[in-house]
Homo-oligomer: A and B are copies of this chain.
């Protein structure tokens, strides 16, 4: 397989996986196809803001909405825009191990630095935790790319238990977890039972402060798409032990974060981007653009959080 991109850092070159990463949305043109220009425009602004890295083809990126061909196209566009000193992590969850291997190889070929692996969940009621560990082992054996576990119970119905995560963390090549469960008891247990090199990342800004207080090294935050500067300030505050400031920032952003995740999902995120001067657009059906009433409500939520268009992000 040819490598047409930079990326895929060797172990020596790779910086610690920490800080604030954004799970980036995938914009579409009015005919519904991938809007490469808008995608790269957004990325260049987030890079300039100083975000530590990006998850491409995550839940916020409408990954399940794309064909395999489109997914590869998005990954290539991302790598062209993302410099080597920032993480590019590719979402690669599929239901079969063999399809996941194919997706991870495509991600590596597109220059991703790591893959974020959603565990298979359709047959969750008849899939044992040890089968899930084997899934990750097969994947790590087959593909030469660092892997992150993606625990996302609200979408998948699978909430990986601590011993399963710990067993996965022992597999060479598995370098961390993005945990969107919000279960801080589990996050602390995972942090305690895995080596320091295993990165524990909060999956939402809603619990970023307590996650950092519990030993997380960063977060993959949808909020970072619309408030990169404030998310970085929050992270820096926590890093330097200014918990009160971190807490205040998080509290101030909590409604905006809920609006673009739990409440309105990708449609909310894209509308917020449009309101703030980024390139959002419509999600793919059956997801649909926010109705006008909801748009107004979202605008006022953003305003209250100190986020507004044409102004620099609030300091």
In Å, the complex CA distance between A96 and B212 comes to 35
A window 84-119: CB within 8 A of B = 95-99, 102
Interface centre among A102, A210, A262 (most CB of B within 10 A): A210
Across the interface, name the chain B residue whose C-beta is closest to A248: B192
Complex copy number for this chain: 4
The smallest C-beta distance from A239 to any residue of chain B, in angstroms, reads 12
A233 at the A/B interface (Cβ < 8 Å)?
Answer: no
Task: Please state if A188 and B214 are interface contacts (CB–CB under 8 Å).
Answer: no
- In A161-218, which residues have CB < 8 Å from any B CB? 182-185, 188-189, 191-192, 204, 206-207, 209-215
Contact B285 A65 (CB under 8 A): no
Chain B residues near A241 (CB-CB < 8 A):
241, 243
Q: Chain A, interface size: which category?
A: 35 or more
* B residues near A285, Cβ cutoff 8 Å: 96-98, 131, 134-135, 138
Contact with B along A33-74 (1 / 0, CB 8 A): 000000000000000000000000001001011111000000
CB-CB under 8 A for A210 and B188, given A66-B96, A68-B68, A126-B266: yes
Q: Of B125, B250, B288, which contacts A154 at CB under 8 A?
A: B125
> Which of B67, B188, B267, B268 makes the CB contact (< 8 A) with A209?
B188
Write out the residue numbers on chain B whose beta carbons fall within 8 Å of the beta carbon of A206: 184-185, 188
Could you say which residues of chain B place their CB within 8 Å of the CB of A266? 123, 126
Residues from 278 to 304 in A contacting B, C-beta threshold 8 Å: 284-288
A215 neighbours in B (Cβ, 8 Å): 247
CB distance B185 to A207 under 8 Å? yes
List residues of chain B with CB within 8 A of the CB of A134. Answer: 285-286, 288
Also in contact, A210 and B189, with CB within 8 A (given A123-B155, A123-B266, A134-B286): no
